[in-house]
């Protein structure tokens, strides 16, 4: 499943790039993520926990992170397995930063492959809807880290806990709500 997100951060590109090079700090902004080891050479071990209604998964694995300063871009290639449920997840992410008026535009292209029980959520479109909501939390965390007054203050800022049930239902009903907003928006014209 392909996911593309474009986010805007109200900070200069140099400051955003610096944060993107601090993998532990950036991982703290990913809801449900837990970085457990820096293996060196851009390889990190960790886990990503997800709970959606009756389904929960804790993908444990590794990710390889590369960055190209001259183009302000990079990649993340990860693979993990949920030992309890038997689901396997793979992700290939390419990101790029570019300056814009008032801040930095970050483009993220991800290719997510799920197998096992977790794959059923990918087919329903819920993964794409939830990714948008999680990206929103990620951006809020990045903004908070970048506006912190001290490095110590920035270090304790992390993403909030993923609220599985509310995230699941809000993601499930979001397309329906958008449909009605469009419907009523047209009828008022």
Digit-coded pLDDT (tens) for 97-156: 999 999 999 998 888 777 776 666 555 565 665 565 666 677 778 888 888 888 898 888
Question: Among the listed ranges 67-71, 113-117, 145-149, 183-187, which one has the minimum average pLDDT value?
Answer: 183-187
- Give SS3 for 63: strand
Kindly report the number of other CB atoms within 10 A of residue 130's CB atom: 22
- Domains of the chain and any CATH numbers: 2-187 (3.30.530.20)
CA separation for the pair 45, 29 (Å, rounded): 16
Most confident of 25-29, 73-77, 133-137: 73-77
Q: Which residues contact 102 (CB under 8 A, 6 or more apart)?
A: 10
Tokens of 182: 């469009």
Is residue 58 helix, strand or coil? strand
Across the chain, what does the average pLDDT equal? 78
């Amino acid at each position: 499943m392909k996911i593309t997100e474009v986010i805007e951060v109200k900070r200069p590109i140099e400051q955003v790039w610096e944060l993107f090079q601090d993998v532990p700090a950036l991982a703290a902004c990913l809801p449900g993520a837990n970085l457990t080891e820096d293996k060196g050479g851009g390889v990190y071990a960790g886990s990503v926990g997800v709970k959606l209604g009756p389904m929960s998964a804790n993908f444990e694995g590794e990710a390889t992170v590369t960055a190209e300063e001259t183009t302000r871009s990079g990649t993340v290639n990860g693979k993990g397995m949920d030992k309890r449920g038997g689901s396997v997840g793979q992700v290939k992410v390419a990101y790029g930063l570019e300056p814009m008026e008032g801040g930095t535009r970050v483009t993220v292209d991800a290719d997510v492959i799920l197998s096992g029980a977790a794959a059923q959520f990918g087919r329903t479109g819920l993964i794409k809807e939830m990714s948008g909501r999680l990206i929103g939390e990620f951006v809020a965390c990045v903004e908070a880290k970048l506006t912190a007054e001290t490095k110590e203050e920035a270090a304790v800022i992390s993403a909030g806990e993923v609220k599985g049930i509310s995230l699941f239902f809000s993601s499930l009903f979001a397309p329906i709500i958008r449909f009605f907003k469009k419907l009523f928006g047209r009828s008022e014209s």
